[in-house]
Structure 1
Amino acid sequence: MAKASNRIDGLRLRHLRVLELIDEHRSLRAVGQVLNRTQPAVSQMVKDLEYAFGVELVARSVRGVGLTPAGHVALERARSGLSSLDQLAAELKISPSPILRIGTNPALIFNLLPATLRILDAGNNAVRYRVSAGVVGDILRELWDGRIDCYVGRIDWNHIPKTVMPSLRHDPLTHTDLVLACSKNHPLAGRSDIDIAELADWPWLLPPAESNNRIALETELRNHGVILPQPMLELNAGPGSLLTLTHEMQVLTLTPRFMLESRLAVGEVVALNIPGFALPEIQVGFVTLAEYETMASVRNFRQALRQAAEALTGEHGRPCQLANSDPL
């Protein structure tokens, strides 16, 4: 271990940039031009990297150079480190106050995230926050690329590369149902005898086809022999916009149950009661990279998240699934 540590200590930031440039340009000469180094100097940097890590990172052929499988793994980790350094440099230029970069899903901006920020604000934290909301897969890629520090939201483990999993730390937080919903004035509202086949007879307002919620809905309908018609309106926006339109239109949609208790929907958009029809629960968790979990801002945010999740789950009368931070 000591020998490996000594080898790594000899590396510099430009050594890590070499991997990114090789993956982009596929030529040592082109990499040298970017770094203002000769081709032999770049070749030596590659040898330094391979010596430090004890594995071949770059494959050479008559067509140029490319990263080996181990090289791609090293590049993934190097990108997060380089991105963190870029973020640090930007922060220090603007203000000495640290910025915590948070990724989340749009729905959580309506309950869990504001509850968490209220807890942190009560503790007089000197941290500033930058929140990015988006599709699960896109936000998680931002995490392991180093563009955000942590993520809170729905986690689709099937779309996380196995090479990335050992570097992640995860806290389960809570869960919610995914339900079908409509305006309180819709003909299906309040009925307890809805047949699943009837769902194909009504216009739908849905998120994009690649969204996890849309996929879950179409899968459950197919399990009952029902093919969902093309939606009347496909909305690539947050659940707030979806519920606002559902309130105004005679359409069916799907949403996390807790959104029906938000100010946008309460009393105006209602869940459908369909015997024999059940969508999977949405599991909500917190994820960060192993190298970030010791950051004070990350630790404080995670602790506040757990407090907020427990309080919100208690309000809704459902058991809260909490656990210690564990490697995946």
Structure 2
Amino acid sequence: MKHARPGSSNAAMPWPNRIDRLRIRHLRLLDLVARSGSLTAAGERLHLSQPAVTKMLQELELAFGCKLIERTTRGGRLSLAGERALERLRVVLGAIDAAGDALLTRPEVALVRLGMLPLVGMDVLPRAVAWLRARGNLPRLAVREHTVAGLTAMLSAGELDCIVGRLQKEHAGQLEASAHITRLRDEHLAVVCAPGHALARRRAVALADLHEGPWILPPRGTHTRDVFEQPFLDDGQLPPVPHIESASFHSNLAMTAAGGFLTVAPATALANYQALSMVCQVRLRTPFASGQLVFITPAQIESPPAVALLRVALQAVAAQDASVPSAPVRRR
């Protein structure tokens, strides 16, 4: 059976033996064209002449049996087939880069590239690290902090091995098609104030009372800000306008304690601040909707053993939390 050439009117078929001959730089060519919009720029990054880049593109398209890059007046862009191919190949490129990082120093210890939301580092991750170290199974960790959207994008691009973060239950359902999601525990969003704030003395605070402020909130577009604003919108109210916008929960809680502000944070992240009597949780008449703390890995590839061990550690820590009754809210 003859294989159709790329660009022919007949259905194209890939050449498996030619796919096996592709080199890593063939795969990087697609990624570089997608990022730069130019074959010339991609060739410069690969230190190749224009004829060499053209030949490499022909080899790629012949191997996959379809047109991957469309020529434009500005240089080149990926075809729809090229975009679909790159979605998969970025995972491969990320794995290759990770292998290089893992073997650069201390190759005898596994490396895990972990993405997390900032407050995970205050509560869950330290205990999971201690759990692993006590058993002699602690891998090297390369930790990246970002928003939920930023972390999931890095995971899809093969830049991370796993994520620990919070999701609303409906958002977790949307991700299940492209990722493996392990639910660790329920997470509740708490409204927090300084002990001297007027709302700290009230036993039942309504949604309308929260307009008293002043507020420190995460920026718009973040998961926490969306969860915070939704109850106001559902009730026909405009959400409070923050006096300060900050993505750092650590800074937000510290400023709340010192300056008489209100802020929001996952309830499980408040323990250290409450133990020092720096802040207290506002007693809401109707609590905010709960989300879930989850561990996410790519669906396309099998998790390395070190990632699987980290999952086990996080599950163990979450199980400990579930077995301990939550402390009652202190009333004044």
State the TM-score, normalized to the length of structure 2: 0.82
Paired position in structure 2 for 1:100: 112
Tell me which residue corresponds to 2:296. Answer: 287
Separation in 2 of the partners of 1:158 and 1:193? 29
Kindly provide the CA deviation profile for residues 47-76 of structure 1, in whole angstroms up to 9, marking residues without a partner as x.
332333344321234553210123123223
After superposition, residues 81-120 of structure 1 pair within 5 angstroms as 81-96=92-107, 97-120=109-132
- After TM superposition, give the deviation of residue 19 of structure 1 in Å: 0.4
Q: CA deviation at 1:79?
A: 2.8
Q: Distance in 1 between matches of 2:181 and 2:50?
A: 42
**Do structure 1's residue 252 and structure 2's residue 244 form an aligned pair?**
no
**For 1:222, which of 215, 233, 236 is the aligned residue?**
233
What residue in structure 1 maps to residue 4 of structure 2?
Answer: none
Does 1:152 find its partner at 2:152?
A: no
**How many angstroms apart in 2 are the aligned matches of 1:39 and 1:98?**
40
Aligned CA distance change for structure 1 residues 34 and 106 (closer, same or farther; 3 Å):
closer
Q: 1:299 to 1:195 in 2, by over 3 A?
A: closer
Over 3 Å counting, the alpha-carbon distance change for 1:135 and 1:294 in structure 2 is: closer
CA RMSD of aligned residues (A): 2.8
Contact (CA 8 Å) 2:188, 2:291: kept in 1 or not?
yes
Q: How many residues align?
A: 311
* Structure 2 residue corresponding to 1:191, chosen from 202, 221, 242: 202
Equivalent AA in structure 1 for residue 188 of structure 2: D
Q: Is the 8 A contact 1:259 1:265 kept in 2?
A: no
SS at match of 2:294: strand
SS in 2 for 1:264: helix
- Aligned-pair CA distance for 1:35: 3.4
1:49 equivalent to 2:56? Answer no
- TM-superposed deviation, 1:309: 1.3
Q: Secondary structure at the match of 1:225?
A: coil
The reply to whether residue 307 of structure 1 matches residue 327 of structure 2 is no
Letter matched to residue 104 of structure 1: M
**Could you tell me which amino acid in structure 1 is paired with residue 118 of structure 2?**
P
- The answer to whether the 8 A contact 2:113-2:160 is kept is yes
Q: Does residue 207 in structure 1 map to residue 218 in structure 2? A: yes
User: Post-superposition shift, 1:225?
Assistant: 3.1
CA distance in 1: counterparts of 2:156 and 2:91, whole angstroms: 6
Tell me the amino acid that sits aligned with residue 223 of structure 2.
Answer: N
Structure 2: distance between partners of 1:45 and 1:25: 17
Give the match's secondary structure for 2:200. Answer: coil
Shift of 1:134: 2.3
Summarize the Cα distance change of 1:192–1:85 in structure 2 as closer, same or farther, 3 Å threshold.
same
Instruction: Measure how far apart 1:78 and its partner are.
Output: 2.5
Separation (CA, whole Å) in 1 of partners of 2:247 and 2:198 = 26
Matched-pair identity in % = 32
- Corresponding letter in the other structure for 2:137: N
2:11 counterpart residue number: none
For residues 143-187 of structure 1, give each alpha carbon's deviation from its aligned partner in whole angstroms, at most 9, with x where no partner exists.
222222111112479889x8x975522212211111212123222
CA contact (8 A) 1:179 1:256 kept: yes
| Distance change >3 Å, CA 153–CA 25, structure 1 → 2 | closer
One of 144, 161, 164 as aligned partner of 1:132? 144
Q: 1:7 to 1:169 in 2, by over 3 A?
A: farther
Number of the residue aligned with 1:264: 273
Say if 1:6 and 1:300 are closer, same or farther in 2 by CA, change over 3 A: farther
Map of 1:321 onto structure 2: none
Secondary structure of the equivalent of 1:263? helix
> What's the CA shift for 1:204?
1.2
> Deviations for 1:77-100, whole angstroms, at most 9, x for unmatched residues?
323322332332233232222221
Give, in angstroms, the shift of residue 117 of structure 1.
1.1
Amino acid in the other structure paired with 1:244: A
CA contact (8 A) 1:177 1:257 kept: yes
TM-score (norm 1): 0.83
What are structure 2's unaligned runs of at least 5 residues?
A: 1-13, 328-332
Q: 2:82 aligns with which of 71, 80, 83?
A: 71
Q: Secondary structure at the match of 1:192?
A: coil
